[in-house]
Structure 1
Amino acid sequence: MFGTSGVRGTVGDTVTCRLALDVGRAVASEGYETVVVGRDARESGRMLADAAAAGLRECGADVVRVGRAATPTVARSVGWRDADAGLVVTASHNPAPDNGLKLWNPSGQAFDEAQREAVARRVREGDVDLAPWDGLGEVTRWDGATDRHAAALADAAEPGDLSVVLDVGNGVGGVTAEALRALGHDVQTLDADPDGSFPARPSEPTAENCRTLADTVAATGADLGIAHDGDADRMRAVAADGEFVGGDVLLALFAREATGDRSAADRVAVPVDTSLAVADSLDPLGVSVSRTRVGDVYVAERASEPDVAFGGEPSGAWIWPDETLCPDGPLAACRLAGLVARRGSLASLVGEIETYPLSRGSVETDRKEAVMEGVRERVCARYAEVDTRDGVRASAEGGWFLVRASGTEPLVRVTAEARRAERAEELFAAARRIVESS
C-alpha cells in the first residue's frame, strides 16, 4: 500500500476518504497518541485531512491540525509540538488529480519500512482499536506552524541582499518568501496563490516546467531563481543568466558546503543514480559518498547516521540532519541564497563542478521481474563492483551503469555515465545488451 513516498494515487480511485479514515485509525492503533495533521493546496485535501483526523480521534489519538502548510512545515511540527507522529495529505509533485498520505516521525524522518508495513497491515486486516465514547481523541488547531518554520529557516541560514525570484508554482511554499525576506533578500514571487489545480505550471519543478522562472530571472537581472513543487519538499534553482541548474550539480554544491569545514570521516548520503560529479567534487575534501536506494526516505535513514553530514537526491530533495531529517525545500532555498551571497554568483559556483556525459534509455518488457533477475546474474558474473540494493548498478573503469525496473510502466530503464562520452556510450550499449538478452 505504501511506497517510499507514502500512499499516492488518483482521488476517488486509489485515494479515498475511506482510505484516509483507515490510515488514521491504524496510526492511532499503533500507539501514536498525538498526531500533527496538515495538507497541501489540493482541494481534495480538505476532506482527506478531515477523514484522517476522524480516524485518529476514533481510536483515541489527539490531533493537532495545522491546516494548509508545506510538508516540511508539518514534518518539523511533530517535534515542535512534542507529538508522536505527523500525517501530511499531499501528492507532492504529482499532477492535480492525485493526492496521498505521508507519515512522519518527531525527528522529521518519514516512517520507515517497518512502520509503514505495520500501518498497512492494520488497514488490510481492519485490525484497529476503536476507543469508547469517553476515550475519543481531542483536536486542537495550531496556526503558528508556518511562522515557526520561517523563524527556524532564518536562524539556520546566512543573511544577504540578493534579488530572488521565487516560483511557488501555486503550491504551499510561501514560507520561503517569508524567510528570505527576513534574511534581507528582495523577493519577487511567481504564482504564489495556493491552487491545487496548478494552473500556472505542472507541480514538479523540472527545467521544462520552470521556463517562465528562467526567463524572468534572466530578464529582470535577478541574482537567483528558486522553484518548489506543490508541497515544497523539493527545491530547484536557476542562475542569474537563466540557466536551470542540474540536480547533481546542486547536490555537489550543497554537499561540499556541508562538509568543507568538518572531519574527513564525513560521508554524504546519495541514491544509486547520482552522478560521478558528486563523488569527484568531494574526493579532494576527503569526503565519501554513501549510496542508498532511490527515494528520500532511504537517504534520510542514512543521513541519520552520526558521520553523515548531508543527504540529497538530484530530483530536488535536500536533507541537513543537523536541522531535520525531512527534505526541506525552503531550508535549501535559504541556504543556497546564503551561499550565493557569500561566495558569488550561482553560475560561477556551478562552473566549479565538472559534469560528465550521461546516456539514458529504456527497454519495453512485460517480464520485468524475470529480466531483472537475469540482469543481476549476468552483471554479477561480469563486473567486480556491483550494487543490487536498488536495481543493478555496476562500476566499471571510468564510469558506471544502472539498470532499474520502472515501478509504474512495463519498462526497464538503463542509465550510464562516464568521464568520457565514448565510454558512457560503451557502458550504455553493454548494459542495454544485457537487458535485451535477459
Structure 2
Amino acid sequence: MGKYFGTSGIREVVNEKLTPDLALKVGKALGTFLGDGRVVVGMDTRTSGEMLKNALISGLLSTGIDVIDIGLSPTPLTGFAIKLYEADAGVTITASHNPPEYNGIKVWQPNGMAYTSEMENELERILEKEKFQQASWDRIGELTRADPKKEYIKKALEMIELSKSYKVVVDCGNGAGSIVSPYLQRELGNKVVSLNSHPSGFFVRELEPNAKSLSALSKTVKSLGADVGIAHDGDADRIGVVDDQGNFVEYEVMLSLISGYMLRKFGKGKIVTTVDAGFALDDYVRPLGGEVVRVKVGDVAVAEGIAREKAVFGGEPSGTWIIPQWNLTPDGIFAGALVLEMIDKLGPLSELAKEVPRYVTLRAKIPCPNEKKAKAMELIAREALESFDYKRLIDIDGVRIENDDWWILFRPSGTEPIMRITLEAHTEERAKELMEKARKLVERAIREA
C-alpha cells in the first residue's frame, strides 16, 4: 500500500486527504504515464464527484490526453466504455461502499482490469516528483462526452437469455447502478420494482449490500412475492442477493452458487477467489469439475488470477464478481442478470442455496492506525504461528492458517485504518473460541506495535 493508493485505488475523506488539487495531479500523473491516447472518465453519485472528476479531467487534458467524459456511471459501465471506445485507460471517481463523506479515484487498463500495484506505484512516483508532461496550447487534449448505457444493455442482452419473466426487486442504494441495473432487468423481460434508485448522492442505507443494510429489500421481496432481490453498492461493482423467501443469501453461498453455474455454463475449469474465502466454495465446485485458486484480496488480484489461470470465473466473498466472458471489470449489474439466468435454468434461489455446505464464519474489525499496520502484522504473524496448531499456511496477503476443519485470516485493510480477522469453523463453539483467541492476539499486537 502506497502513500496514495490502497488495495482499491485512492479512497479518502473528501477535502481532507482527497482534494481537487490531488485529483488534478492524479490526472497529470496518469497523462504523463500514458504519454498519449484517450481516457474514459466516469463517476458515481457522490456529491463530490463532479468536483473531483472535473479536476482530474483538467489534469489529463493538460498533458495532451483526450478524454471521453461519460458522466454519472457505475464502475461496470466505465469498464465497458473503455473497450467500447477503444480507450487507453479509464478512471472511476468512486469510493464504492464507503460512507458518503468519502470519495476515491480508481484507474482501469484497456482490458477492463484495474491498475496493478506496480502501475499505481509508478503513478505515485510521478506524483511525488511532480514532473508532469505538459502539452503546448495547440496540443491540449480534446474533451468529448458520451453515453454508453444503450450499448451496454444491448451487449448484455446478447449474452443472457431467459425463458420467461420474473418479478425482480432492485435496490441500488441511491448509487450509480440506478441508471443501468433496473433498466437491464426490464429489458430482460422482467417485472421490476426499484428501491433506493434515485441517484442523489445521499444514501438512505449503508452501501455495502449485506444482510443488515438490505432489510428493506428483504421485506419488499417477501411482501410482493418476488422471485429475487438484487442490490448494489455505490458504484455497482458489487452484488447482494435476496432469495424468493426474502432471505439474504450469504456472500459465500452466492459465490459458490454462481461459480457452480459458470462451470455448468462454460465447462470445467478454475475458479479464482481470495484468501478470505471459505471451504464451502471448494466443497461445492469440486464435484462440478471446479478447482479453486486463491489470490490476494482485491479485484485486481482476482482479475490477474483469472487471466493467468485462464479461469472460468473469479469472485470475492464480498459480492465482487468478475465474469471474464464479459469483462475483467467487477460488475454487479451484469452479475444480477447472470443470477436471473441461473434461476431460470436451475430453479428458485432458496432451493439452490440448500445445496451449498454451511460452515460458521466470523469476522472482526480491530481499529489500527495505518502507520502501525506493518509492525502489528509482524507481531501477529509470529505469535499466530506459535499459538495455533495449524497444518497449512498461506501468506500471499496477510496470514492465513488452516487446519482440516477451520481457518483464520489476519489481514490489514487496504482501505481503512483497521485490522481484519476472518475465520471459519465447522461448529459455532469452535468458531467463537478461535475468534476470542485471535482478537486478543491482534489487540495485543496493535498495542505493542
TM-score range, shorter chain: over 0.9
1:385 aligns with 2:392: yes
What is aligned with 1:195?
200
- Taking a change above 3 Å as real, the CA distance of residues 246 and 26 of structure 1, as seen in their structure-2 partners, is same
1:257 aligns with 2:261: yes
Give the alignment's TM-score, normalised by structure 1: 0.94
- Taking a change above 3 Å as real, the CA distance of residues 172 and 365 of structure 1, as seen in their structure-2 partners, is closer
Which of the numbers 17, 20, 23 marks the counterpart of 2:23? Answer: 20
Q: Which is further off, 225-234 or 306-315?
A: 306-315
Q: Secondary structure at the residue paired with 1:305?
A: helix
Deviation at 1:357, TM superposition (A): 1.4
1:296 aligns with 2:309: no
Which of the numbers 236, 244, 249 marks the counterpart of 1:245? Answer: 249
What is aligned with 2:60?
56
Which of the numbers 370, 377, 381 marks the counterpart of 1:376? Answer: 381
What is aligned with 2:427?
420
Q: Which is further off, 295-304 or 357-366?
A: 357-366
1:177 aligns with 2:182: yes
Do the aligned residues in 1 keep the contact of 2:176 with 2:235 (CA within 8 Å)? yes
The code of the aligned residue for 1:294 comes to V
Which of the numbers 250, 269, 272 marks the counterpart of 1:269? Answer: 272
Show the 5 A alignment for 1:120-131: 120-131=124-135
Do the aligned residues in 2 keep the contact of 1:76 with 1:107 (CA within 8 Å)? no
Q: Which is further off, 79-88 or 287-296?
A: 287-296
Query: CA separation in 2, counterparts of 1:412 and 1:10?
Result: 19
Query: CA separation in 2, counterparts of 1:139 and 1:364?
Result: 43
Query: CA separation in 1, counterparts of 2:183 and 2:420?
Result: 40
Query: CA separation in 1, counterparts of 2:409 and 2:392?
Result: 12
- Taking a change above 3 Å as real, the CA distance of residues 365 and 129 of structure 1, as seen in their structure-2 partners, is closer
- Taking a change above 3 Å as real, the CA distance of residues 209 and 433 of structure 1, as seen in their structure-2 partners, is closer
Deviation at 1:233, TM superposition (A): 0.9
Deviation at 1:7, TM superposition (A): 0.9
The code of the aligned residue for 2:342 comes to L
What is aligned with 1:95?
99
1:399 aligns with 2:406: yes
What is aligned with 1:331?
334
Q: Which is further off, 104-113 or 426-435?
A: 426-435
Query: CA separation in 2, counterparts of 1:219 and 1:434?
Result: 45
- Please list every run of 5 or more consecutive structure 2 residues that lacks an aligned counterpart in the other structure: none
Do the aligned residues in 2 keep the contact of 1:391 with 1:404 (CA within 8 Å)? yes
Deviation at 1:347, TM superposition (A): 0.5
Do the aligned residues in 2 keep the contact of 1:376 with 1:388 (CA within 8 Å)? no
- Taking a change above 3 Å as real, the CA distance of residues 239 and 373 of structure 1, as seen in their structure-2 partners, is same
- Please list every run of 5 or more consecutive structure 1 residues that lacks an aligned counterpart in the other structure: none
- Taking a change above 3 Å as real, the CA distance of residues 305 and 364 of structure 1, as seen in their structure-2 partners, is closer
Query: CA separation in 2, counterparts of 1:9 and 1:435?
Result: 25
The code of the aligned residue for 1:7 comes to I
Do the aligned residues in 2 keep the contact of 1:10 with 1:98 (CA within 8 Å)? yes
Which of the numbers 149, 152, 155 marks the counterpart of 2:152? Answer: 149
Deviation at 1:153, TM superposition (A): 1.7
Deviation at 1:341, TM superposition (A): 2.0
Do the aligned residues in 1 keep the contact of 2:76 with 2:330 (CA within 8 Å)? yes
The code of the aligned residue for 2:282 comes to A
Which of the numbers 173, 186, 191 marks the counterpart of 1:186? Answer: 191
Do the aligned residues in 1 keep the contact of 2:7 with 2:415 (CA within 8 Å)? no
1:84 aligns with 2:91: no
- Taking a change above 3 Å as real, the CA distance of residues 363 and 70 of structure 1, as seen in their structure-2 partners, is closer
1:278 aligns with 2:285: no
Query: CA separation in 2, counterparts of 1:229 and 1:239?
Result: 18
Deviation at 1:28, TM superposition (A): 0.9
Deviation at 1:301, TM superposition (A): 1.4
Do the aligned residues in 1 keep the contact of 2:8 with 2:415 (CA within 8 Å)? no
- Taking a change above 3 Å as real, the CA distance of residues 287 and 216 of structure 1, as seen in their structure-2 partners, is same
The code of the aligned residue for 1:404 comes to R
Q: Secondary structure at the residue paired with 2:308?
A: coil
String of CA shifts for 1:263-319, please: whole Å, max 9, x gaps.
Answer: 54x211111111211111012123221111111221111112243111111211111
Q: Secondary structure at the residue paired with 1:20?
A: helix
Do the aligned residues in 2 keep the contact of 1:150 with 1:176 (CA within 8 Å)? no
Percent same amino acid among aligned pairs?
A: 39
Query: CA separation in 2, counterparts of 1:348 and 1:18?
Result: 52
- Taking a change above 3 Å as real, the CA distance of residues 130 and 149 of structure 1, as seen in their structure-2 partners, is same
Query: CA separation in 1, counterparts of 2:330 and 2:289?
Result: 25
Query: CA separation in 2, counterparts of 1:363 and 1:83?
Result: 41
1:233 aligns with 2:237: yes
- Taking a change above 3 Å as real, the CA distance of residues 411 and 53 of structure 1, as seen in their structure-2 partners, is closer
Query: CA separation in 2, counterparts of 1:373 and 1:319?
Result: 32
Query: CA separation in 2, counterparts of 1:57 and 1:437?
Result: 49
